[in-house]
C-alpha cells in the first residue's frame, strides 16, 4: 500500500519532481566532473603550471562540498514542501503518522538514488564531451585524463548517499514533529522575515571582516602560499553567506523606503515581495554567488594562462615574425597581414661567416629586448642606435676590424636569427656596401615584423618554422633543438600551459552550469506559491503587461546581487595569480562577456518560465 501511494503521488506531481530531478542531477554531475580532476593526482602534477595544484584542488573540493551540502538539503526539503498538505490528508483519513513518516523517508531516498544514477551517467558524458572539445581546441593530448574515473565515481556515490540518507531522516523527523493541522495548512503559512536590528549589524560586520581578510589573503598569495589559499577559502565563503543574509534584506528595505521609487507602478508590490521572501532567497543567492566566483574564476584563470603565453613569449622577442630567406609564396601571403612594423635586411652566408649590409641595418635599425631591472616590467623594447662608422665590424677576434657593438650583436642573433642553432659557429660581420658586394655568395634576405595579433598567424608561422629547421640542417648538418623564433617559444609555453588552461575551462563550464541550475531551481520551485498573488492583482485590474514588467524587475534584482558579488570575488581573486602570470587581467573582458551572455540568457529563460507558471492565462 505504501509503495502504491508513493508511486501514485510521484506520477501525479511528475512536473514538480522533474524540476527537482534536474537540479539534483546537475549537482551530482558537476561534483563528479570536479572529482575526475581533483583525485587524478598524476594528471594534475603532469599538466599544471602551479606546483601546489593538488593542494588547491583539495581546498576546492572542500568549498564545493560545503556548497553541495547546503544545496542538497535545500533541494530535498522541496519534496517535503510539495507533499505536506497531501500527507496531512492521509493522516486525516486514518493513516498512521509512522507510515506517513516512512513514506516521506522512502520518497526522499528514492528520488536521491534515481538522481544519483542519472547524475553519474550525465557526469561521465559531460566529462568526456567537454574534455574532448577543449582538447581539440587547445591541441592538448590530455594524457592521463579519464572521464570514467573509479575513485571519483565511488567518492561521489558515498558522498551523495550519505547526504540523501541524512536529508531523508531530516524530512521524516520534520513530518513526525508536525500535527495534522500544521500539515494541512502548510501552504498558508507566512514566510518568516529576517530579523532586523543588532543581528543585521553583527552579520554585516562579520561579512565585511571575513571578505576583507579573504581579499587580503588573495592579494598577497605570493607570500602566504598554502596558508593564503586556506585563509581565502575559510573567510570568503562564510563572508559571502553573511553578506546575503544580513545585507540583502537591508538593501531591499532601503530601496523600498525611497518613495519616488516605491510608489512608481507596481514597485511597491515588487519590493514588498522581495522584502518578504528575502530570508529564503539569501542563502540560495550566497550559494549562487560562490558558484559564479568558482565558475567564472576558473574560466578567467584558464583563459588568462592562455593569453599570457603570447605575452610571456614576447618577453625575449621584439618582433613577432622572423623569416629567413622568405619564399615567394610566404611573401605573397604576408602581404595580407596587418604589420605594425616590417623590415627586410640583406645578408650573405659563406663557410666562415654571415655578412650583413650596414646600409640596410642603419636605414631601419631593429628593436631589441633588454632587461629593465623592474619587477613590474621585466624587459623593455629598445631600438638599436649605436653608430656604425667603421667599414667592417665582426664578432671574430682580429687586429684590424672593429668588434660589433653589444646591442647590434643582440639584434643579429635574437631578432635576425643569425644564431648558433641556424648557422653553427660562423662569425658575424657588418660590412659597408662596397665590402658587402665583394663577398662571393648569393644575397639572401631576412624579414622581421610586428603584427597586430600574433595568434592569428600561427598556422603559417608553423610552416615557416619547419622550413627553418630544414635550412639549419643545410647550414649545420644537424636538426637544431631550437631556431630562436618567437613562434617556437610561444608553442613551447603553450604546451606547458595547456594542462592548466584545460582545467580552468573544464571547471569553469561545470560550475556555471551548476550555478544556473541552483538559481533556476529555487525560483521555479517556489513559483506555484506566487500564483495566488498574481491572480489577485489581475482580478483588481492590473494589466498583464504591468505584471510581466514587475516579474522582469524582481528577477533582475535576484540575479543581479549574486552575479555582482561573484564578479567582484573574481576580479580580486585574479590577484592570486599575479606571482605566476605577467598580466593576470589580460583580455579579462572575454570571459566576463561570455559569463554575462550566459547569465543573461538564463535570466531571460527563468523569467519566461516563471511568467508561464504564475501569470493567469489571458
pLDDT of residue 3: 59
More confident residue, 407 or 72: 407
Vertex 403, ends 398 and 407: CA angle to 5°? 160
Contact 525, 519 (CB under 8 A): no
Q: How confident is the model at residue 320 (pLDDT cuts 50, 70, 90)?
A: very high
Contact 277, 191 (CB under 8 A): yes
**Mean pLDDT across the chain, nearest whole number?**
81
442 pLDDT more than 90: yes
189 pLDDT more than 60: no
Measured distance CA(312)–CA(497) in Å, rounded:
11
User: Which among 602, 525, 519, 548 is positioned nearest to 244, based on CA atoms?
Assistant: 519
Q: How confident is the model at residue 342 (pLDDT cuts 50, 70, 90)?
A: very high
Average pLDDT over residues 519-548: 76
User: Which among 514, 512, 513 is positioned nearest to 75, based on CA atoms?
Assistant: 514
Q: How confident is the model at residue 366 (pLDDT cuts 50, 70, 90)?
A: very high
Q: How confident is the model at residue 52 (pLDDT cuts 50, 70, 90)?
A: low
Q: How far is CA 150 from CA 120, 155, 276, 357, 430, in A?
A: 11, 9, 46, 65, 65
Q: SS3 of 577, please?
A: helix
Contact 233, 59 (CB under 8 A): yes
* 54: its cell numbers: 593538488
Q: pLDDT, tens digit, for every residue of 116-165?
A: 999 899 889 888 888 888 777 766 776 777 888 888 899 899 998 998 88
Where along the chain do its domains lie?
A: 1-189, 321-480
329 pLDDT more than 50: yes
Measured distance CA(223)–CA(231) in Å, rounded:
13
pLDDT of residue 375: 47
Measured distance CA(134)–CA(503) in Å, rounded:
10
386 pLDDT more than 70: yes
More confident residue, 480 or 282: 480
Name the one residue in this structure whose C-alpha cell is 624579414.
Answer: 447
Measured distance CA(443)–CA(531) in Å, rounded:
84
User: Which among 588, 601, 527, 563 is positioned nearest to 82, based on CA atoms?
Assistant: 527
More confident residue, 73 or 351: 351
Q: How confident is the model at residue 618 (pLDDT cuts 50, 70, 90)?
A: low
Q: How far is CA 316 from CA 209, 487, 490, in A?
A: 43, 12, 11
* 556: its cell numbers: 533582475
User: Which among 517, 528, 515 is positioned nearest to 16, based on CA atoms?
Assistant: 528
pLDDT of residue 356: 94
Measured distance CA(210)–CA(232) in Å, rounded:
9
Measured distance CA(402)–CA(242) in Å, rounded:
73
Percent with pLDDT over 70 in the chain: 84
Contact 149, 39 (CB under 8 A): yes
Measured distance CA(344)–CA(342) in Å, rounded:
7
How many other CB atoms sit within 10 Å of the CB of residue 117? Answer: 13
55 pLDDT more than 80: no
Long-range CB pairs of 438-445, under 8 A, 24+ apart, other chains included: 439/348, 439/350, 439/355, 440/350, 441/348, 441/349, 441/350, 441/355, 442/348, 443/346, 443/347, 443/348, 444/324, 444/325, 444/346, 444/347, 444/348, 444/349, 445/325, 445/326, 445/344, 445/345, 445/346, 445/347
Q: SS3 of 219, please?
A: helix
Q: How far is CA 370 from CA 415, 450, 464, 482, in A?
A: 12, 17, 26, 21
Q: pLDDT, tens digit, for every residue of 23-49?
A: 788 888 888 888 887 787 777 766 665
Average pLDDT over residues 591-601: 87
57 pLDDT more than 80: no
pLDDT of residue 196: 55
pLDDT of residue 28: 86
Measured distance CA(28)–CA(160) in Å, rounded:
8
566 pLDDT more than 80: yes
Amino acid at each position: 500500500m505504501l509503495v502504491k501511494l508513493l508511486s501514485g503521488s510521484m506520477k501525479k506531481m511528475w512536473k514538480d519532481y522533474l524540476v527537482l530531478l534536474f537540479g539534483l542531477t546537475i549537482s551530482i554531475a558537476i561534483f563528479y566532473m570536479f572529482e575526475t580532476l581533483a583525485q587524478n593526482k598524476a594528471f594534475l602534477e603532469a599538466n599544471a603550471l602551479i606546483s601546489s595544484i593538488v593542494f588547491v584542488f583539495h581546498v576546492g573540493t572542500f568549498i564545493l562540498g560545503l556548497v553541495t551540502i547546503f544545496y542538497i538539503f535545500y533541494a530535498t526539503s522541496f519534496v517535503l514542501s510539495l507533499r505536506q498538505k497531501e500527507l496531512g490528508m492521509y493522516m486525516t483519513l486514518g493513516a498512521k503518522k509512522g507510515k506517513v513518516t516512512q513514506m516521506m523517508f522512502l520518497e526522499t531516498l528514492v528520488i536521491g538514488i534515481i538522481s544519483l544514477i542519472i547524475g553519474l551517467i550525465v557526469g561521465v558524458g559531460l566529462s568526456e564531451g567537454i574534455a574532448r572539445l577543449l582538447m581539440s581546441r587547445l591541441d592538448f593530448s590530455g594524457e592521463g585524463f579519464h572521464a570514467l574515473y573509479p575513485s571519483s565515481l565511488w567518492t561521489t556515490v558515498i558522498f551523495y548517499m550519505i547526504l540523501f540518507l541524512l536529508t531523508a531522516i531530516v524530512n521524516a523527523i520534520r513530518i513526525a514533529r508536525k500535527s495534522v493541522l500544521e500539515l494541512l495548512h502548510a501552504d498558508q503559512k507566512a514566510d518568516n522575515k529576517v530579523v532586523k536590528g543588532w543581528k543585521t549589524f553583527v552579520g554585516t560586520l562579520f561579512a565585511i571582516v571575513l571578505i576583507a581578510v579573504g581579499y587580503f589573503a588573495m592579494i598577497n598569495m605570493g607570500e602566504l602560499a598554502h596558508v593564503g589559499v586556506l585563509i581565502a577559502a575559510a573567510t570568503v565563503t562564510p563572508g559571502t553567506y553573511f553578506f546575503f543574509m544580513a545585507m540583502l534584506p537591508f538593501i531591499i528595505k532601503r530601496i523600498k523606503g525611497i518613495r519616488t521609487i516605491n510608489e512608481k507602478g507596481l514597485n511597491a508590490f515588487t519590493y514588498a515581495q522581495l522584502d518578504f521572501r528575502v530570508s529564503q532567497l539569501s542563502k540560495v543567492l550566497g550559494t549562487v554567488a560562490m558558484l559564479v566566483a568558482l565558475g567564472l574564476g576558473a574560466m578567467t584563470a584558464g583563459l588568462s594562462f592562455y593569453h599570457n603565453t603570447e605575452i610571456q613569449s614576447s618577453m625575449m622577442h621584439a618582433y613577432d615574425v622572423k623569416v629567413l630567406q622568405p619564399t615567394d609564396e610566404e611573401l605573397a601571403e604576408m602581404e595580407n597581414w596587418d604589420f605594425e612594423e616590417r623590415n627586410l635586411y640583406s645578408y650573405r652566408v659563406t663557410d666562415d661567416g654571415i655578412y650583413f649590409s650596414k646600409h640596410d641595418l642603419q636605414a631601419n635599425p631593429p628593436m631589441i629586448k633588454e632587461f629593465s631591472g623592474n619587477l613590474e616590467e621585466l624587459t623593455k623594447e629598445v631600438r638599436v642606435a649605436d653608430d656604425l662608422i667603421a667599414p667592417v665590424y665582426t664578432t671574430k677576434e682580429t687586429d684590424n676590424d672593429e668588434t660589433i657593438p653589444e646591442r647590434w650583436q643582440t639584434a643579429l642573433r635574437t631578432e635576425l636569427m643569425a644564431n648558433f642553432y641556424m648557422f653553427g659557429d660562423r662569425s658575424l660581420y657588418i660590412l659597408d656596401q662596397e665590402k658587402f658586394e665583394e663577398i662571393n655568395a648569393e644575397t639572401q634576405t631576412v624579414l622581421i615584423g610586428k603584427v597586430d595579433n600574433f595568434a592569428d598567424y600561427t598556422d603559417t608561422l608553423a610552416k615557416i618554422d619547419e622550413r627553418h629547421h630544414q635550412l639549419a640542417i643545410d647550414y649545420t648538418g644537424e636538426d637544431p633543438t631550437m631556431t630562436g623564433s618567437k613562434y617556437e617559444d610561444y608553442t613551447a609555453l603553450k604546451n606547458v600551459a595547456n594542462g592548466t588552461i584545460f582545467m580552468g575551462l573544464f571547471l569553469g563550464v561545470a560550475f556555471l552550469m551548476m550555478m544556473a541550475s541552483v538559481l533556476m531551481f529555487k525560483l521555479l520551485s517556489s513559483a506555484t506559491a506566487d500564483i495566488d498573488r498574481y491572480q489577485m492583482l489581475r482580478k483588481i485590474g492590473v494589466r498583464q503587461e504591468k505584471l510581466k514588467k514587475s516579474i522582469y524587475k524582481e528577477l533582475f534584482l535576484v540575479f543581479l546581487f549574486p552575479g555582482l558579488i561573484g564578479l567582484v570575488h573574481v576580479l580580486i581573486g585574479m590577484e592570486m595569480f599575479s606571482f605566476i602570470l605577467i598580466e593576470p587581467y589580460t583580455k579579462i573582458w572575454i570571459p566576463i562577456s561570455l559569463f554575462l551572455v550566459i547569465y543573461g540568457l538564463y535570466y531571460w529563460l527563468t523569467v519566461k518560465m516563471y511568467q508561464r507558471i504564475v501569470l493567469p492565462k489571458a
